[in-house]
Amino acid sequence: MKIPVFDKDKRELKQKEMPKQFSEKVREDLIHRAVVTIQSNSRQPYGAYERAGMNVSAKLSRRRKDWKGSYGHGMARTPRKSLSHRGTRFNWVGALAPNTRGGRRAHPPKADRIWDKKLNTKERRKAICSALSATIIPEMVKSRGHKLPKEFPFLLSTDIETIDKTKDVMTLLKTLGFKEDLDRTDDKILRAGKGKNRGRPYKIKKSILFVVSKNCPLNKSALNISGVDIVTPDHLNAELLAPGNNPGRLTLYTEGAVDKIADMFKY
């Protein structure tokens, strides 16, 4: 499969043969497994204090002739602590059990739970190749909601990696025909739940993913554009190429990055 290579002014320089990694069958099941594995490994472990709600003396005897007992009093078997007593009659209050005030939780999150998952190396590589091939299929890219120019897919010449100003990157993307896709990310969605209180109040849509051959000025100049990510081939993963388990992210590859991908992800 041959794809045109454009310069920063959208002039076609040549046609480039894409490596076999971009001809893989799109396996959504493998992509799903790879993305879930990445998300599981990035979870922050959490859990309750193991003695929470249990630091209380709430022992209550059920034997017939114990002095501090409840046998024959018509009481439920809920653990209770005594607040006062008059002879053998006690003033009780429930404690310790999950159905009592201040008691422990029935099934609290355990701090020692293992959240991370494992994935075979060949499965991971095949998932990445499958996600790579989805990025050059216009129908799959459009199904994610991206707005494409009619010339898509195409590659970019390696000299765009030298762009060191954000306004120049914006000019490049508008020249290539991605203004509508960038406008999609202007609509911020207020997050539901407690994430609003934790420094992430808004959800922002994913836009273009740049894949460059090496660390370059474009890594910083494109960093501050809403919805845009930039990565080198050795840091590619299924979640970047298929956010939310949906393959077909709008991805722009430089010619040098494709040459590096051709030598990677072999299985």
Distances (CA, A) of 6 to 47, 78, 88, 122: 52, 75, 92, 33
Average pLDDT in the chain? 92
pLDDT digit string, tens, across residues 23-57: 999 999 999 999 999 999 999 889 999 999 999 98
pLDDT for residue 165: 94
Q: Please report where in the chains the tokens 């299924």 appear, as a residue.
A: 238
Sheet holding 251-253: strands in order across? 229-231, 209-211, 251-253
Distances (CA, A) of 60 to 11, 64, 73, 85: 85, 12, 12, 14
Task: Report the distance separating Cα 69 and Cα 65, nearest Å.
Answer: 8
Say what the pTM is. 0.83
Task: Report the distance separating Cα 126 and Cα 120, nearest Å.
Answer: 10
pLDDT digit string, tens, across residues 181-217: 999 888 889 999 999 999 999 999 999 999 999 999 9
Cα–chain center distance at 56? 41
pLDDT for residue 80: 93
